[in-house]
Structure 1
Amino acid sequence: MKHEPAEIFRLHYKAPPTIARFMQSPALYRGLMGPVGSGKSSGCCLELMARAFAQTPGPDGVRRSRMAVLRNTYRELKDTTVRTWLSWFPEEAFGPFSLTDLRHGVRLARANGERIELDVLFRALDRPRDVKKLLSLDLTGAWINEAREMPLGIVEALGDRVERYPAARDGGSAWAGVIMDTNPPDSDHWWYRLAEETRPEGWAFFRQPGGLLEHGGVFAPNPRAENLEHLPPDFYPRRQAGKTPAHVRVYYCAQYGFVQDGLPVYPEFSDARHVARTDLAPVAGLPLCVGLDFGLTPAAVIGQRLTTGRWQFLDELVSRDMGMVRFAGLLGELLRNHYGDHKTEIWGDPAGMARAQTDERTPFDILRACGLPARPAPSNDPLLRREAVAAALARDIDGLPGLLLSPRCATLRKGMAGAWHYRRLQVAGEARFVDTPDKNSFSHVCEAAQYLMLGAGEGRRLLTPDQPDRPRQGRSVNAARG
């Protein structure tokens, strides 16, 4: 049935200060970050529609645009993004929305005889075939909702698809771009790297004030918070009750950070207690221990046991989609350049004893060929591996933690803080979790730390009765290890 647009539809929108600057930016890639409730999604909806109205009309007087809207899953796309869009642009005034292909065909007639034809395509990443089709489309612009959940590759690929519609014969693109909104990601996210560190040309990032401010661990309302006139009274103070400080900082204060999901593998870990304020240096005269995890994402952790029995993790080497030959070369270079004066013991995942089908070499063979005489850790028991690290975290020696991380161990730090976790099961009632930790980008370096501790004797220490009359160093690690 042909859609007959409403004769008059008045839409009133006043952009908060940060969103107003975001809308005025000419950058090809624009990012908007802020706390929950700050109006980010609404601002992006209005920005797409405003750009459609500003398109150059074709010879027939039609201003044409084709926009893509992305979210990480279809459930969130339908429940959140589509609802926000239709709340601003209802079907009875702007045209029918197709639930079959999640497409809104906006068709509007203007008083001067011109027409607006805007096709908005809603897509999610959990249907790879749809993403593949999307990245072959000719678009005017795109909006990525909650961009922290999107790979940078998708963002960059969308930038190559915009400014392709309409064709020059139909007026061409008066505007093209990729806009993004998000709650704050972690400090190792691509958003942080681009917005705070590299700041590439053609990218512009805008950060809204938080709804709360933190003073000495106490959170208070921020008088500079935006969009408060459209929120219930005391929106942020009432919602912070019962939330962890990490949750409040990310979602209400708009600070970069990590919010724990699932059950952490190391609840014994405390960032304030187990992470040094400055980079740790190796102690002269003491050997280094290196733990390795293999596979296509090999990782290494470099540590040292002090004479008091305390452990310090000095450094890490984390890779992605890297072969063992290249990784061994990088590890050897790191050890030579930064720790060349120290004797080194290297321990790896015992599964690395299996030979490859291509050349029948094991990861340990490759390491030895690169001058790194590594040995398999004495056990691959998951419980023993976890406890070897957990015991050091729980240990207290002279009022100091039994394990201290250097800030250089950024990935390991985040993994131990909860990024490596047991996934919650989707069941009703009491919270339940899977039996084994999730394999993710943090699991490899965390397991490398486990092999380090097992190889250095911490596993045997757990299985050996304590002898209080022995010297402290003897009690801190089993001196009889092989």
Structure 2
Amino acid sequence: MAELTLVRPQLEGEYYTLEQIRGMIERIKPEQRKEYKSLPTMSFFHRDSSRIRAIVGPVGSGKTSAAVMDIEMIAMDLRRDFGIKETRWVCIRNTYLELMDTCFQTVVYWMQGGRWYDKRKAYRWEDKINDKTTELLFRSCDRPGDVSKFKSMEITGYWMDESIELTTELKLMIRNRIGRYPAREHVRQVVLGGLPAETEKGFKHEGIKTVEEKV
């Protein structure tokens, strides 16, 4: 698994500036990226076709990189099997700083050369070799009213990092937003982190299989 050294700029105000985010993107050069090699648990995660999947493990076990690569694998499947060239995902974490200091920097590491859209808080990566585009929206959800901003989303799938810190209300609601971009298709959701018992019970009640594999 490639090692990623995170760089945390000085935060001024509520969000990083556009220049600071561009600095995060530009600091990683193509020659610095290593080949992705998944551990046995990550390989199991990639092979599983459940609609809801979860993976847990210790710090540094490669969970975040596995989630990013899994999004790309699904995008490749949709391109090959259904001719879908564009996918849109939402990456969710409890706080903005945690989201940008970990998830965003890992995305940039594996999807180099993309473009950041500051107003939408979106990273768009064009894979010219495989003729497809992957867009990731970055959203925090640490306030009582934050759940409402996900209700009108049209996405291919989602990725929750440290999902145990996110509310059950969000988890049960966001699954109804997948498969809406570019249209309803055969998609899988990416859920990263432990599922609380009440959430897993709710999913099973709806007939959705859950998988949680420890490293």
Name the counterpart of 1:18.
41
Aligned mates of 2:181, 2:203 — CA distance in 1: 28
Q: Deviations over 1:420-460 (max 9, x none)?
A: xxxxxxxxxxxxxxxxxxxxxxxxxxxxxxxxxxxxxxxxx
CA contact (8 A) 2:172 2:203 kept: no
Write the mapping of 1:320-335 to structure 2, written as runs, cut at 5 A.
none
Q: CA 1:15/1:125 → structure 2, altered by over 3 Å: closer, same or farther? A: same
Deviations 1:239-277 (A, max 9, x none): xxxxxxxxxxxxxxxxxxxxxxxxxxxxxxxxxxxxxxx
Contact 1:56 1:174 in 2 (8 A): no
Structure 2 partner of 1:84: 106
Aligned to 1:101: 120
Give the C-alpha shift of residue 198 in structure 1.
8.6
* Alignment correspondent of 1:181: 192
Is 1:148 the counterpart of 2:164? The answer is yes
**Counterpart for residue 25 of structure 2:** none
Distance in 2, matches of 1:120 and 1:176, equals 15
Relative to structure 1, the CA distance from residue 62 to residue 194 in structure 2 (aligned partners, 3 Å threshold; closer, same or farther) is closer
After the TM superposition, which segments of 4 or more aligned residues of structure 1 sit over 3 Å from their partners? 8-11, 56-59, 126-131, 192-195
Structure with bigger gyration radius: 1
The aligned residue for residue 166 of structure 1 is: 182
Tell me which of the two structures has the higher relative contact order, counting C-alpha pairs closer than 8 angstroms and 6 or more residues apart: 2
Matched with 1:385 is none
Residues 73-472 of structure 1 aligned to structure 2 (within 5 Å):
73-90=95-112, 92=113, 95-110=114-129, 115-126=131-142, 131-167=147-183, 173-177=185-189, 179-182=190-193, 191-193=196-198, 200=204, 201-209=207-215
Shift of 1:118: 1.6
TM-score (norm 2): 0.73
Instruction: Provide the secondary structure at the position in 1 that maps to 2:135.
Output: strand
Are residues 206 and 151 of structure 1, via their aligned partners in 2, closer, same or farther at CA, if it must alter by over 3 Å?
Answer: same
CA separation in 2, counterparts of 1:158 and 1:198? 13
Say yes or no: does 1:38 pair with 2:37. no
Name the SS for the 1:49 alignment partner.
Answer: helix
Q: Give me the whole-angstrom Cα distance separating, in 1, the residues matched to 2:202 and 2:147.
A: 28
> Aligned partners of 1:176 and 1:86: how far apart in 2?
22
Hey, what's the Cα distance between the residues in 2 that align with 1:46 and 1:203? 22
Question: Cα–Cα, structure 1 residues 118 and 199, in superposed 2: closer, same or farther, change >3 Å?
Answer: closer
Over the residues paired in the alignment, what is the CA RMSD in angstroms?
A: 3.1
Equivalent residues of 1:77, 1:124 under 8 A apart: yes
Classify the secondary structure of the residue corresponding to 2:73.
helix
Q: How many Å separate the matches in 2 of 1:130 and 1:148?
A: 16
Identify unmatched segments of 5+ residues in structure 1: 1-7, 185-189, 210-482
Whole-Å separation in 1 of the counterparts to 2:34 and 2:185: 25
Q: Which residue of 2 aligns with 1:217?
A: none
| Rounded Cα–Cα distance in structure 2 between residues aligned with 1:17 and 1:98 | 35
Q: Secondary structure at the match of 1:69?
A: strand
Cα gap change, 1:164/1:36 in structure 2, threshold over 3 Å: closer, same or farther? same
